[in-house]
Amino acid sequence: MAGVEKNMPILIVDDYKTMLRIIRNLLKQLGFDNVDEATDGSGALSKLRDKEFDLVISDWNMEPMSGLQLLKEVRADVKLKETPFIMITAESKSENVIAAKEAGVSNYIVKPFNAATLKGKLTAVLGNF
Amino acid sequence: MNATMESRIAALGNPGAGIDPADIAEVVESVLTSISGDNSGINIKLYEDIEALAKFIAAAKADITSLRADEINSKFIPAASDELTAIVGATEHATNEIFEAVDAIEAASSEMAPEAAAPLADAVTRIYEACSFQDITGQRITKIVKVLQDVESRVSGLLEALGEQLPAAKAETAAPSEPAPEAASQEELMNGPQLPGNAMNQDDIDALMASFD
């Protein structure tokens, strides 16, 4: 895919406000300004069903709905199932990566991460920008 | 079994009652005496084992009492949990202060010539990357708080088994309900940050992800 639209709506999901801000600012520095936020899977799912997003970037470890459950809900929803979904999490065990992959994750970033890693994964999922 | 023996056994089972090993030994001896037939060899061994067990329980109870387990549960563990929670709050506050300063730097750099602003933008990115420590430390500390809560629950169970009077506030610490099978499966996958050496790095994860393609 080429010619990524920098104004594409992106939903970031994390229960830590500082991490939301970090991801938002790193995205901003990469040119992505149209970013909305949610603090758990259920809040994210509501937003995804209310408005169209072109990318979801989600943490895993959240209450009450985890990022993995959100991913499963997204992939099970006819309207949402094609939405690219990147997991950004401190969960770094192989069983986590396998579970996320089997649930349909588009890419997986382990925390702590840097801007270069985020850019690389965005490129892998969306195409060059 | 006569009424006197029944009442003595009931008294030993009463929560909160102090159990004297001699009492247990006497009861066991009475029970064995009441059994008919040739039971001398096996039951003497059984008697000795039960007596040793009773002494062990009494000694353990004395040890636990001297440790002031009730105080550990009612005071020290909650205090430690509060301190750790405060650390999370303090690091979050400090991180937000850093963000405010970074916002000011970004605002100032937007007025500068591009060649002068570029190094500042790189520095700001590095600051944002470094600030992810707050998320990582927060998750690690939350794990420790959960462990402390588990210890608190187990100590409560121990005190209850020994018949100690539990503080009212701690009695409210209920054991978590049994999760549904699906929830338990997902629960097992929520371990938070791994210690160095146990964790896969981004390259390992990339390789694992690629193995599915």
- Look up the CATH number of the domain holding residue A80: 3.40.50.2300
Token digits for B68? 């002031």
Residue A4 maps to a domain: no
Distance between first and last Cα of chain B: 74
Secondary structure of residue A40 in the 3-state scheme: coil
ipTM for the predicted complex comes to 0.73
What are the structural domain ranges in chain B?
3-67, 70-175
CATH class of B70-175: mainly alpha
Q: Which residue has the tokens 């539990």?
A: B166
Q: Are A57 and A75 contacting, i.e. CB atoms less than 8 angstroms apart?
A: no
Q: Residue A92 is which amino acid? A: S
Cα distance between residue B102 and residue B108, in whole Å: 10
Cα distance between residue A10 and residue B95, in whole Å: 24
CB–CB of B192 and A91 under 8 A?
yes
Residue A129 maps to a domain: no
CB–CB of A61 and B139 under 8 A?
yes
The parent domain of residue A15 ranges over 10-122
Using a CB-CB distance cutoff of 8 angstroms, which residues of chain B are in contact with residue A21? 99
Q: How many domains does chain A have?
A: 1
User: In this predicted structure, what is the pLDDT of residue B183?
Assistant: 55
Token digits for A125? 């999922």
Total residues belonging to chain A: 129
CA distance B129 to chain A (A): 5
Cα distance between residue A101 and residue A92, in whole Å: 13
Q: Which residue has the tokens 């999760």?
A: B179
Secondary structure of residue A12 in the 3-state scheme: strand
pLDDT per residue of chain B (213 residues) written in tens, 0 to 9:
555 656 666 666 665 555 666 677 677 777 666 665 666 666 778 888 888 888 888 888 777 777 777 777 788 888 888 889 888 888 888 999 999 999 999 999 999 999 999 999 999 999 998 998 888 888 889 889 999 989 888 888 877 777 654 444 344 444 444 555 555 577 788 877 777 677 788 999 999 999 988
CB–CB of A18 and B129 under 8 A?
no
Residue A3 maps to a domain: no
Q: Rounded mean pLDDT of A60-83?
A: 96
User: In this predicted structure, what is the pLDDT of residue B40?
Assistant: 65
**Confidence label for A52 from pLDDT (cuts 50, 70 and 90):** very high
Greater model confidence, B150 or A12 = A12
